[in-house]
Structure 1
């Protein structure tokens, strides 16, 4: 598999560089991934040849831009197996999509005393919108806890989701613990109680095959930049029956049907949720990223990342004075690995690793309630993508050992 990865590496110009006179090992993929030349070219071609606004013009460039934009929507639909392209709304990103649901469906359907259920491992993007909705509506926000090894506690979920629950919002894959949640089972539980379920797919869609129809989620949001598209583009999937009943999120051009002095009517879905000029080039780039991933095959993407986790996680766990969070079994772990070195602040760890050319993230990873649950303020986090290699993993392990030695932490 590494031979294939070497072929992919040629497509990613940002990976072919040195940092601090060391070979770059880019392991910050949970924050954002690098872009292949094919996506960069699609973006350049759009601006050089097809740059125009969509849906409004009848001239050639406008028609080409509209065609590219709507073809990207269809690619997204097929990529996640939605029933219709009408169920695909382009957003600024995953955060924007989750806020859209909270500010429309949530405002419309949550009443005083209703329950909203999320998990303790949520990214702030899938926590604060529901927290604030609960405050506005005098609703009750409940948290599903974790098992001792960092997986979502399905038994606790069954206890927390009741007939009073109206919304369940859960990450599909944790951006800290590397845990994949049983989203399909959670959807079934939510629906048994008459609730809808919202999936945060930011850390799932780039890494595994997603079928929203099979999952039976009501809404599912994700970002493009974590799957090689330009920044500033994302997707919200929603079941058409729900989207049609929801009020618009923003008002202005493009999302209207008729406007008069004292009243307006809205366009059909998905357009009533896409006010103003959208990130057209971003959508085109997202379509190109999907083409690239389809060419590899999502099963191959997941297989490659699993091989890397199988290789690096046991080595990391075996280093004395290194604490790894989340499942300790590679089979239960995505390419996101959070860790700490005893006695060192994660920011110092990340700075030291950077001196060895290894790019990782340090901080609370927009998951402060989870950090509190883990009993830490922050962690370092290495995160892998399909273009990473065992050389990157070796460089990470070597840099951690050298960091421990430099700071005289325990034994190597």
Structure 2
């Protein structure tokens, strides 16, 4: 099928078939769509291009069209259009090229400037003409709205389930679903006993590091799940112990929205996942799971862990007492400024100085702060 928009100048350049599917699952399961996209080579031949002048770009299979980040195939296509190497871009639908107007309209601009046509299953368009740009602009806007509508519909259903506590999320070790979907404790009594011991030790020692050391000194391993979901036992680490103590599922609560995505710090990077403070959790439904501890004890554990953090200037907590010879370490407060005092050691801990947090911050910033004299440690009989 010929088109009056195709001219000899277009035929003198390449025709590029752009192929994309949004997820790896679609690539594997939706083979018919993949065949239809590869069959666009025949459409290019019908429009007048020789087989040798038809290229296929399929390096973006399994990547979403919501952004150009990590879509090297799309970037290659735009670059080739800018070099006047491409006379026609073929795609099964414009949604394959971009689902974001921020990416779509610059492509239309460069295609119009370099005289490159865009074709889909509905027809051939010239972005350099008002009518062609209008139609392609509408298609791109509808594509972006469609993505927003689909995402909103799916998110609304997900949140409705989460508010009832019925959303099937991954459960931590020690909890599992029976064949009917009801959450129960792991029938392995060794797993239940070890998790209970972790909570018991923390309430006694009040420190994640001390719990880890106590478990390792007794050669008591923690239950974990491997990459296949099978139970395994591994040596206790700070991260593993903290994950058990901080997980609200052990207090019988279903929680959704404990993390959020932060904007990437540099161009091309992926958004970073960050944890939310406990008071900012999006949905909390208590008494949904069989509990290892009750909710007041869980809140107490979280408060102790937060208070143990040494980032005083940011969260204004007491901090955990550190090793050293002096008393009131991390507990004394400065009479001058009202901030927490801390001890600084020097010379293999044979000398010490007591200072407050603002002096430490001023010294890090290379600003003038109050002079602190070092004193020898007292001798104990």
Q: Structure 1-normalised TM-score?
A: 0.21
Q: Structure 2-normalised TM-score?
A: 0.22
Higher normalized contact order (CA 8 Å, seq sep 6+, divided by chain length): 1
Q: From the CA coordinates, give the structure whose radius of gyration is larger.
A: 2
